[in-house]
Homo-oligomer: A and B are copies of this chain.
Amino acid sequence: MGKTAIRTVGEVSLDKPATEHTNIHNRWHPDIPFAGSIKDGETVKIECLDWTGGQIGNNDSADDIRNVDLTRVHCLTGPFEVEGAQPGDILLVEIMDVQPFQDQPWGFTGVFHKENGGGFLDEIYPSAAKAIWDFEGIFATSRHIPHVKFAGIIHPGILGCAPSAEVLETWNKREAELISANKLERDVALPPELKGVHAGAADAALKEKVGREGARTIPGRPEHGGNCDIKNLSRGSKVYLPVHVPGAKFSVGDLHFSQGDGEISFCGAIEMAGVITINFKVIKNGVADLGLKSPIYLPGPVEPQFGPGRHIYFEGFSVDEHGKQHYMDVAVAYRQTTLRCIEYLRRFGYNDYQIYLLLSSAPIQGHVAGIVDIPNACTTLGLPVDIFDFDIMPSGPAKALDMGICAFETGVTKGEVTAGGKNSERSFGGGLTYKASVVEKVKEAVSG
């Protein structure tokens, strides 16, 4: 009864060359045989080699980048039949998750040599270079680019359905025209190429045909998407892909742990091998209904904010400042939470009344965190760190500034409530450090 693990439809082995896989291809062609079948509505896992098919090592030399064989890229997993999909339909692809392989938690970014691949700035940066990235959960760091850590917006660089013969012919024609008109000293497009072809389960004759006719996977193309390299086409995104052949022949690969807009250095994303979890739905007649010429997508709900949340959150419980245990009293818990925050900010030189005024007026976040774990209600208070013009982040002892004073009623001796006075020595117990009546101490503090 119940769910078991999600079915995997495209299994790859990192120990075998790409050529030995019958579910890997690196040309777009309608005749490449199906590598498996997926039901309309099904969610499956698809495993992917890195885009080079394992040509790049986790080491400190960029010679593998220098000498990479670009005719052998990109290694796509597929093509998969999606049952019921027909030309004119849309394949709605929802990306449920992307993960690196558990036992290979690393990826790479490369600068191709100007004479072998190049990139956006190759006239300025002609040499080959490389950075290896280590993955720890959602984060990437690199020994080659120190002092940087970020959460990946993990995504596939390439996904799409196979072109029909007619679409493929259009591609080959218009790109050939560009190539023949080229007067630059660099490649402007890559024609079909027999060398380095992967054609999945194709026999020799078909493989040769795929090599001779098949479109290269380098560019994205308007009719099907392909290598779009869109940095936030990530978890939760829904992509609407036109279907050109019966069964859709969907393929995916070129997984990126992260990428900047433009994928600037060409091998620019954090390239990795891994697993993508996808839900497939067929939208009948969708191309006409939506007037779709090129794919569209809806971004997912989990794009990182970049930077941790800019709030410090304080926790409070229904144990009051006298150490007394209350039963699930949310007001007591929230009062304690505010006292925690007052103690924290007092270290920077504010008197308590200034902070009390500030917490009332600044946009702090007050949450009911847990309301069912007897006897303690738990509340939290989020203090936005960026409302201060100095650094209040938790890091070592605080340096008190001259904070002046707020307005008081007549009779309150102002010196007594400023930082450095008795005020700053007070402490509101959480059961442990409380020693005397807080009310009395405050009365003393503020009335001098």
Residue in B144, B328, B373 whose CB lies within 8 Å of A407 = B144
> From residue A127, how far is it (CB to closest CB) to chain B in Å?
5
List B contacts of A88 (CB < 8 A): none
Residues A151 and B236 in contact, CB atoms below 8 Å apart: yes
What 14 new A-B contacts, CB under 8 Å, besides A2-B58, A293-B427?
A2-B134, A125-B356, A129-B407, A144-B357, A145-B354, A151-B302, A188-B375, A223-B431, A223-B432, A225-B315, A289-B398, A298-B394, A306-B311, A334-B371
CB within 8 Å of B: which of A193-227? 218-223, 225, 227
Q: Which residue of chain B has the shortest Cβ distance to A308 in the bound complex?
A: B298
Residue A15 CB within 8 A of the other chain: no
List B contacts of A13 (CB < 8 A): none
Given A328-B331, A404-B143, also A372-B264 (CB < 8 A):
yes
Q: Which residue of chain B has the shortest Cβ distance to A101 in the bound complex?
A: B5
Count A interface residues, CB 8 Å: 222
Residues A260 and B363 in contact, CB atoms below 8 Å apart: yes
Residues B299 and A302 in contact, CB atoms below 8 Å apart: no
Residue A72 CB within 8 A of the other chain: no
Residue A436 CB within 8 A of the other chain: no
List B contacts of A422 (CB < 8 A): none
List B contacts of A227 (CB < 8 A): 370, 373
B interface footprint on A391-413 (CB within 8 Å = 1, 0 otherwise): 00110111001111111111010
CB within 8 Å of B: which of A117-172? 119-121, 123-134, 136-139, 143-153, 167, 170-171
Residues B304 and A308 in contact, CB atoms below 8 Å apart: no
Residue in B1, B58, B175 whose CB lies within 8 Å of A375 = B175
